[in-house]
Amino acid sequence: MTITETAPASNDLTTTRAPFIEEAKGRGDLFIHQPYELYSEENHETWRRLYAALVPQWQRFAHPRFIEGLNNLALTSERVPRLEEINEFLEPLSAFESKAVSGYVPAYLFFDCLRQREFPTTITIRDARSLDYLPEPDIFHDLAGHVPMHTDRTFSDILVRFGEVAATAAKMSRDLDSSRRTKVTSSVIKAMARFFWFTVEFGLMKRPKGGAARLETVDEPVAPADTELCVYGSGLLSSREEIEYSIVSDEVQRYPFRLEWVANQYFEIDHVQPLLFYVDDFDHLFAEVERLEEWVLSGRLDNVAPGEPLVNEQDLQSFLDAG
């Protein structure tokens, strides 16, 4: 049963209950504007409560570049941000831009937006009664969880490179024999989704011990004994309950990133993650994206292990149409 069936409709921009979004979807409009006047006081209060709860967690566990991004974007706890204001700060730093969307973006389209330095951004915000459970992404996850990382030039280049891998995969798919095209393309999409999940959404990274307090040393080589793990994945950065858990809990397995493992590792989205992977730094992550493309081309991702995430018809078709 979905929230749409149980909760009353609102006239604001609450996730799954916003008439503005339903009307846009009804017209088939994927890219929309942010109707800022529709945010209710309750919507702004939800943003305030989430932001206030996360600030002390970010200071302890977030990657230093994320903290810098928060400052550079002038994000605040006071109200839901306007995308156009965020973009004014973001564009000079990395040429990235947040673009409002009405909802789900098929996989190829999503990755192709990244290639063009555009980030599809949800504009609704979660229900005030369920701050910790998200039926789908919301503006807090997208703007407070993802966009601060986009201020970093290297990280933004990683996203662009990932979008280029999707283009490579679509071209590879086009050249396949029709009897194999669906199966192989689905497998490659699954591998890409797993890569994205265990890095951009739930990735951990090494940082110098002392973390945010030692921002000035982050680019200098450090001995392994002087490093600790921090969070750069947006799913963790936007979760009150999971960010600390991801770093300190004995229940979480944390392993060095291995492409052959990640590409074959299923995940479930509806509970805290028991398995996370860490990279050394942004250069390491960039190199792994390059390797992902090599594996697309060499056929190593043609038959990855089954399981989550499921590749739906829209995702598959978006790749087939792009090839």
For Fe ion, which is the closer residue by CB, 242 or 302? 242
In the bound complex, what is the minimum distance in angstroms from residue 107's beta carbon to Fe ion? 13
For Fe ion, which is the closer residue by CB, 241 or 260? 241
118-122 and 275-279 strand pairing:
unpaired
Distances (CA, A) of 144 to 3, 46, 94, 95, 163: 24, 13, 17, 18, 22
For Fe ion, which is the closer residue by CB, 234 or 246? 234
Q: Beta-carbon neighbour count of residue 154 at 10 Å? A: 13
For Fe ion, which is the closer residue by CB, 137 or 211? 137
In the bound complex, what is the minimum distance in angstroms from residue 121's beta carbon to Fe ion? 10
Distances (CA, A) of 225 to 208, 257, 283: 9, 19, 20
For Fe ion, which is the closer residue by CB, 102 or 234? 234
In the bound complex, what is the minimum distance in angstroms from residue 200's beta carbon to Fe ion? 7
Where in 26-85 is the site for Fe ion (CB under 5 A)?
none
For Fe ion, which is the closer residue by CB, 110 or 295? 110
Q: Distance between CA atoms of 240 and 235, rounded to whole angstroms?
A: 10
For Fe ion, which is the closer residue by CB, 19 or 135? 135
Q: Distance between CA atoms of 201 and 13, rounded to whole angstroms?
A: 24
For Fe ion, which is the closer residue by CB, 234 or 318? 234
Q: Distance between CA atoms of 4 and 323, rounded to whole angstroms?
A: 36
Q: Return the structure tokens found at 66.
A: 């994320």
In the bound complex, what is the minimum distance in angstroms from residue 94's beta carbon to Fe ion? 17
Residues in the chain: 323
Alpha helices in the chain (DSSP H): 3-6, 19-27, 41-61, 64-73, 83-94, 107-115, 139, 147-150, 153-174, 178-196, 234-237, 243-248, 259-262, 282-298, 313-322
Taking alpha carbons only, the member of 34, 30, 5 closest to residue 17 is 5
In the bound complex, what is the minimum distance in angstroms from residue 235's beta carbon to Fe ion? 6
Where in 124-153 is the site for Fe ion (CB under 5 A)?
none
Where in 234-263 is the site for Fe ion (CB under 5 A)?
234
In the bound complex, what is the minimum distance in angstroms from residue 196's beta carbon to Fe ion? 9
In the bound complex, what is the minimum distance in angstroms from residue 294's beta carbon to Fe ion? 25
Where in 198-237 is the site for Fe ion (CB under 5 A)?
234
In the bound complex, what is the minimum distance in angstroms from residue 122's beta carbon to Fe ion? 9
For Fe ion, which is the closer residue by CB, 57 or 234? 234
Where in 263-292 is the site for Fe ion (CB under 5 A)?
none
Number of chain positions touching Fe ion (CB under 5 A): 1
Beta carbons within 8 Å of 266's beta carbon, 6+ residues apart? 194, 305, 306, 307, 308, 309
Q: Distance between CA atoms of 142 and 231, rounded to whole angstroms?
A: 16
Q: Distance between CA atoms of 77 and 313, rounded to whole angstroms?
A: 39
In the bound complex, what is the minimum distance in angstroms from residue 102's beta carbon to Fe ion? 16
Instruction: Name the closest residue to Fe ion (Cβ).
Output: 234
> Phi and psi at residue 120, in whole multiples of 5°?
-60, 120
Q: Contact residues for Fe ion (CB under 5 A)?
A: 234
